[in-house]
Structure 1
């Protein structure tokens, strides 16, 4: 709990008059904070400023390299454009000369002059390294004459796209795609021109086959060398078909991808430009410059590999970092050593100051501990004595009920209500003092909580609305149901008092798992029950003391200061935790973390009717051990009214003496023991208590049932190890009667109580 924490620095700030002040005089505070902040500011500046400089220089260098790469690609692509333009202009001139040569001749006329035309074609095309073959095709695409062969082989291009395109007047097909030429017998692309008859109709095609390898060789020289160069060159038809590319790589694409910016620029008819894209020819990012070649459906493109640019930039950045950060690291080390020295000085200073406040801190913590211990002892003793008073009152009320008291029902009912209030108060007191025995059982919240709706509504009053949100699949819990119910009632009452004008009280439940790395004081599986109100909330100073016993902000007579402490103590003793969040005007939220049950809930089955084979059980011979005379008298009278024979002694020493005498008689005469049951309080004067008596009776092997009565949790834990029945004070008389009836039946069935035994 918050008030139990030992905070030496806080304790040292408490005023303490006495000799400590003279032994440990006050000294001026050292301003370590300012010195530390100054050194940290220098360290931050020594780190941030070089980093900013390096970042600015690196950014500037990257932009400069991008500009240089763009400029280089633009200059290179202009050279490639001029070269391609000269080649295509020469081809067009060559095509025109051949058309003029065959003008006025039909297919038969060309075949008739094949030898002469073949010789002229060899002369015209043989002097150009880029030309693989010059050919003339007829109206139907048949080869009429070629510079490569004489006589011309039987070849037809009537089904080829470039022939069909020229016949149909499509400009794009004046330059064909790369193919294996029928005439040239190698990889070529053709530049063609249609032939016209005297009447203007289509008469055939003149074709010049160009070698892509010629362009590859030129691009190699233009880019300056072998593989690994940062630039690439491409000759591309306007529809994206690649005519030439350098450097080539295995399995490269035959066309520019349609979704690239360069392909979009060609579709838009742009004549020149620069774009950034991921080339499908080179399979990497490039800065690409392109230009349209004259009036031909052809583009040249030069790409600068981004990877080469980035590699050069990284090398320059590495040199920059080394040159800047090498001296900076030395400065960082000096400042770091200064900070360590300052920390050592501060630690020594605080250690010296701690010696002056240590005694005051220890004394303060000791007083607080003794205060809480004394409070727990006082609360426990008062609650125990109060329980005895409640037992006297309860027993006498039951006696009056059983004897019949006409006209006193109203008064007896009022006394019973007062008894329940007193029992609730003692339960709270014992819970706060950690002396309330817990009766843990496995609870399924989804079935249990809705049954408490009416109880919570009664506690909240008519002005406060109740909202329940129970998630599905909530884990079962192992808790004391009565303590959980009391905790919910305490929180509902607090919420009602915080919302005098009405509001909303919400109850929610979820599963939650805490791990070591979460930093929460608990680990494992828990059920979180959240109870939230829309009330006035708590100020920070009130919130800090919310779980402190006997602390209350309610007016006199309205609160005991035990409600929230009972909630905290219940959760803590159940193996969980309670937490509270609140702010003025924002309401209050209390979260109960209760551990998940490892065993499944026990579901009571239907009770089968059975027929008693024995005579009705007779009264028991009960040894009542109780030090309080009035409690003993009331309990004895009740037991006798139930039909039992009672022998009463006032401490465990006397009871054990009776058992020893009875055993001695049994050994001499064989006479059975005079008792069927021992009903004993635990907390009694004398050398023995009730648990000692139960252990002694069990050790005598008498097989007598023993019922112990207690009001202390620690006694209850010990009693459970003796394997006896235990009732916690103040117990319900009806529960005791039911328990005795069960013992009667068990003893009658086992033959330990003769059927002829009667109690006078």
Structure 2
């Protein structure tokens, strides 16, 4: 490789530098250790200039945050103590009021209370009317029926016999002496009730005396306690021991009725704590809170005061920003000075590193280019060799068929050996073309639900005796259109890799399932696919190996034990089938290879009963075939086979000559009205001359009088173009039986349409 000018300039610079260093050797030089000491000193100074301000700011920020949290905690403790005293006074007053009403109705049964309802109503209104927190005072009978109320006279017909607080007081449940918040039956507004039981003369349950308290009264008190500002960072709540909220400030549009049962406050109540501080997330506001709580006397009620930690953090951020600004403004100037000194000191080292990086990059690019050229040359070489090898196989296959059709006796063993060799040669050619991405696929519609179980023996042979095999072919798995031989080869390649990864045995699982990919899934495929998952319990792959798993010729196996062609064949097969291959693996977690194969639009063909042959006298006449093949021996063998099938064959050796014959026949037909002398064009694709088989097919299909065309090839790229021409394509070496069936179809079509080629052109 000739160096470019930049390389020459660098080489000259380095040589001049070496000469300068040699010339300067006689002069005293700065000791290397002093240079290093200055570098270390500058770095140490820079580290100190960075670390010390950061350490100071971090210490100050930590101290300030803890101080703010302590202040918030003290504020909540002071506030909750005031709220507890207020709640205790209210509840004590209500309990005294309940006791006075019980004394008022002492000795009276339900009928007695109803008989004195007017007097009792006046007294109840007098007792409860002077308290803003009281919404209503009511007396209920032993069955929950309303007997008297401070709100109404006469009392309406209503009952609280099924309400939780009535049932709880009747059954001796202390919690229900303070009810949950509800719309009061008597008060007609949002209230919670404090009630006590009335006793009959004999000591039995005679009913309930209930005082309905307004939660809004407590809300207003909490608002004043917190300074009358709705934007306060604090919240206040009055809750029962079971977490049910009785009053809360500030209120939101959508608030839960209870504190979460798994909150730290609920845990503290369950432990029996009467006071304390917890940190929790509020299910009212969604904020994190510092919550102080206190139990209200002997009542099943707690008062809570919470401080939003977001407010603490907001104030802390403001203080921190001021601290950072004042601390780091002068520090940045010092950092810049030290950094510039280090930059100048390391300029030469940086230039050397850039040169090394450039040289390394050049080596990498050249290596990648050589690898690309090598793979391109490999593909071209393999394609050319395989094409010629396919022609040899085609000659052998045609002559074996000729011998069989002539019924030569005593050669069955030799012919069978030749046919086995043909199959092995075909398999070898397909492997070579698969690696070079030039393999023509022989696709057919396949039901994996039925095919996968039948491949058990094939996989067992690849996995060995130490590995157990599990096959789950799924239920109602969609059919796929694939090359069965390529699919078998892909499974074998993956199974062999799995066996090598499970030297001490393991499990290999094959699963098939339907998947649908949409645009929004972010997957490179869209549509209906069948996923074939092949999973092993082996050692797995390291990330760097996994990244190159599908790379051709890459292998981690010892020399001579692997070719690096297995997984690339799997990837090429899936892409050629219109799908994708993916692989997941991790050290110690095994490997999973997933094949995504597109869903087939047609159902798999099942073998049906053989159709009865038509009488010999009604058999269609042989076809007039124009055979275009450049290889004389392939042409001779194919021509002999076609003649043995009863067809007339005209053989030419390139597409240019074939097109001239067809043009002459068309001109003669236009002048004399005679039909074309050919019923079918059977042509190879890869031939010498200006035109190839695909060009010939395009020209023939453009005729006003069309002819059916069958193309033969061994190149995958030619197959892709041929499919767009919409003709039948056979891959070399093709099955003679398949060709015979195609010709029989054309014969029958000719017989049914009166031997008019125009009517059967598209049937193949």
Identify the TM-score tier after normalising by the shorter chain. 0.5 to 0.7
More divergent stretch after superposition (64-73 vs 745-754) = 64-73
Residue number among 702, 720, 724 corresponding to 1:721 in the alignment: 724
Aligned to 2:319: 320
Residue number among 411, 435, 439 corresponding to 2:438 in the alignment: 435
Q: Summarize deviations over 1:671-709 as a string: whole Å, max 9, x none.
A: 432222111111111222112222232233332211110
Alignment CA distance shift 1:590-1:315 (3 Å) = closer
Alignment CA distance shift 1:333-1:24 (3 Å) = same
Q: How many angstroms apart in 2 are the aligned matches of 1:735 and 1:616?
A: 19
Q: Summarize deviations over 1:10-37 as a string: whole Å, max 9, x none.
A: xxxxx99999765435989xx99x9999
Contact 1:443 1:479 in 2 (8 A): yes
2:717 aligned with 1:731, yes or no? no
1:433-582 matched pairs, under 5 angstroms = 433-440=436-443, 443-461=446-464, 464-472=467-475, 477=480, 479-496=482-499, 503-510=506-513, 527-534=530-537, 547-549=550-552, 562-580=565-583
2:633 aligned with 1:630, yes or no? yes
Contact 1:20 1:356 in 2 (8 A): no
Q: Summarize deviations over 1:231-254 as a string: whole Å, max 9, x none.
A: 9999xxxxxxxxxx9x9x9xxxxx
SS of the residue aligned with 1:731?
Answer: coil
SS of the residue aligned with 1:24?
Answer: helix
Aligned to 1:597: 599
Aligned to 1:752: 755
Aligned to 1:54: 61
2:664 aligned with 1:661, yes or no? yes
Contact 1:262 1:275 in 2 (8 A): no
1:91-240 matched pairs, under 5 angstroms = none
2:710 aligned with 1:707, yes or no? yes
Aligned to 1:649: 652
Aligned to 1:238: none
Contact 1:286 1:303 in 2 (8 A): no
**Deviation at 1:582?**
5.9
Residue number among 615, 618, 638 corresponding to 2:618 in the alignment: 615
Alignment CA distance shift 1:615-1:522 (3 Å) = closer
Contact 2:468 2:508 in 1 (8 A): yes
Q: Summarize deviations over 1:276-314 as a string: whole Å, max 9, x none.
A: 699xxx99997466797xxxxx99x9968445x979957
Aligned to 2:416: 413
More divergent stretch after superposition (397-406 vs 556-565) = 556-565
Aligned to 1:686: 689
- Structure of higher CA gyration radius: 1
Q: How many angstroms apart in 2 are the aligned matches of 1:557 and 1:479?
A: 31
**Deviation at 1:55?**
3.9
Q: How many angstroms apart in 2 are the aligned matches of 1:36 and 1:518?
A: 50
State TM-score, norm by structure 1: 0.60
Q: How many angstroms apart in 2 are the aligned matches of 1:645 and 1:42?
A: 97
Q: How many angstroms apart in 1 are the aligned matches of 2:267 and 2:631?
A: 104
SS of the residue aligned with 1:704?
Answer: coil
Q: How many angstroms apart in 1 are the aligned matches of 2:264 and 2:554?
A: 76
**Deviation at 1:429?**
1.4
Q: How many angstroms apart in 1 are the aligned matches of 2:368 and 2:703?
A: 48
Alignment CA distance shift 1:519-1:324 (3 Å) = farther
More divergent stretch after superposition (429-438 vs 403-412) = 403-412
Contact 1:24 1:356 in 2 (8 A): no
Alignment CA distance shift 1:290-1:572 (3 Å) = closer
Contact 1:399 1:638 in 2 (8 A): yes
Q: How many angstroms apart in 2 are the aligned matches of 1:426 and 1:590?
A: 25
**Deviation at 1:504?**
3.1
Aligned to 1:107: none
**Deviation at 1:646?**
1.7
Contact 2:530 2:599 in 1 (8 A): no
Contact 1:261 1:275 in 2 (8 A): no
Contact 2:49 2:335 in 1 (8 A): no
Residue number among 7, 15, 24 corresponding to 2:10 in the alignment: 24
More divergent stretch after superposition (640-649 vs 502-511) = 502-511
2:70 aligned with 1:63, yes or no? yes
State TM-score, norm by structure 2: 0.60
SS of the residue aligned with 1:721?
Answer: helix
Q: How many angstroms apart in 2 are the aligned matches of 1:601 and 1:434?
A: 28
**Deviation at 1:606?**
6.5
**Deviation at 1:575?**
4.1
Q: Summarize deviations over 1:576-610 as a string: whole Å, max 9, x none.
A: 4434456787755433344x438464667968968
**Deviation at 1:365?**
3.5
Contact 2:296 2:303 in 1 (8 A): no
More divergent stretch after superposition (515-524 vs 368-377) = 515-524
**Deviation at 1:729?**
1.0
**Deviation at 1:724?**
2.0
SS of the residue aligned with 1:693?
Answer: helix
Contact 1:289 1:302 in 2 (8 A): yes
Q: How many angstroms apart in 2 are the aligned matches of 1:232 and 1:620?
A: 97
**Deviation at 1:428?**
1.6
Aligned to 2:398: 395
**Deviation at 1:661?**
3.2
Alignment CA distance shift 1:398-1:554 (3 Å) = farther
Structure 1 gap ranges (5+): 1-14, 89-128, 131-171, 173-188, 190-211, 235-244, 250-256, 293-297, 755-760
More divergent stretch after superposition (425-434 vs 489-498) = 489-498
Q: Which has the higher contact order (CA 8 A, sep 6+)?
A: 1
Q: How many angstroms apart in 2 are the aligned matches of 1:603 and 1:331?
A: 83
**Deviation at 1:317?**
3.7
Q: How many angstroms apart in 2 are the aligned matches of 1:40 and 1:519?
A: 45
Aligned to 2:134: none
Alignment CA distance shift 1:549-1:359 (3 Å) = closer
Contact 1:469 1:509 in 2 (8 A): yes
Q: How many angstroms apart in 1 are the aligned matches of 2:646 and 2:372?
A: 50
Alignment CA distance shift 1:263-1:46 (3 Å) = closer
Q: How many angstroms apart in 1 are the aligned matches of 2:679 and 2:665?
A: 13
Alignment CA distance shift 1:598-1:48 (3 Å) = farther
SS of the residue aligned with 2:677?
Answer: coil
Q: How many angstroms apart in 2 are the aligned matches of 1:274 and 1:559?
A: 73
More divergent stretch after superposition (423-432 vs 329-338) = 329-338
Q: How many angstroms apart in 2 are the aligned matches of 1:391 and 1:574?
A: 26
